Amino acid sequence: MFKFKQVYDQLKLVLDPELDQSLVDLGFVQDINIHQQNVHVSFRLPTYWCSPNFAYIMGEDIRKRVEELEWVNTTKVNLIDHSESKRVSEGVSEGRSFEEMFGEMNDGNLNKLRRQFRVKAYNARQERLVKYLLKKEFTKENIITMKWIVLNKSLDNNLIDYDLVIRYRDIRNEFNLPINDDDIAFTDHQGQRPTLEKFNDYFLDSRRQRLAMEFNSHFCQGVLQARYDKRENKLYNLLTKKVTN
């Protein structure tokens, strides 16, 4: 049970690259099997034709996160019910690159695609927090000059949404951007602060990205629910059984 919890917690950290949401929360993780030091994770996607490069990113991240656990010896990742299940599963499990497995459809480095999606995720997380602050009657001037000490004190005093701040702080860490008390809180992913004159345009573009991600998230979850019954998800059934017992 302890090993299962550790693997489960690691999988909660694996995100759909396009949606910036946990594969577990989205219902994409189908099953976890552990035999001694060997882990086998099965996952599935909303449609049979979901982009192979997206699937490969998720598969690689599953393997990477699970193998961060010291006791894990081998990790097998199995993509099910997909047009490229065999190639994705074999390639990821064997540690081979996307380019090796899908050379004929390789239109760029997978890491470059990862980066593009993380930039969109950065913008979306930031915009959610800025939108929240504006509703809390912070002004645009307050926001572009705000330092992290203000956000941190607001967290300590329970005056601000905890999850919004933590998720934004986490993704700033991904981009190696400073989060010390005296650092400016709101910059782009390269560390540049938007000017007051460009505030509306900057956050309008971020808002569009955030809305597109949220629309795609609702769409994907709807398609997944239409394609599968929750009772077919072995991980869901296992967790439900543990809770009810």
Contacts of 155 (CB under 8 A, 6+ apart): 162, 165
Contacts of 210 (CB under 8 A, 6+ apart): 123, 124, 127, 128
**CATH superfamily membership of 2-108:** Fe-S cluster assembly (FSCA) (3.30.300.130)
The model carries a pTM of 0.91
* pLDDT at position 238 over 80: no
Q: Where do you find CATH 3.30.300.130 in the chain?
A: 2-108
What pLDDT does residue 109 have?
79
At 235, the pLDDT band (50, 70, 90 cuts) reads confident
> What does the pLDDT average to over 162-172?
97
Region for 13 from its dihedrals, namely left if φ exceeds 0, alpha if ψ lies in -120 to 50, beta otherwise: alpha
* pLDDT at position 245 over 50: no
Model confidence pLDDT, tens digit, residues 100-146: 999 866 655 788 899 999 999 999 999 999 999 999 999 999 999 99
Model confidence pLDDT, tens digit, residues 197-220: 999 999 999 999 999 999 999 999
* pLDDT at position 221 over 60: yes
> What does the pLDDT average to over 53-70?
97
* pLDDT at position 170 over 80: yes
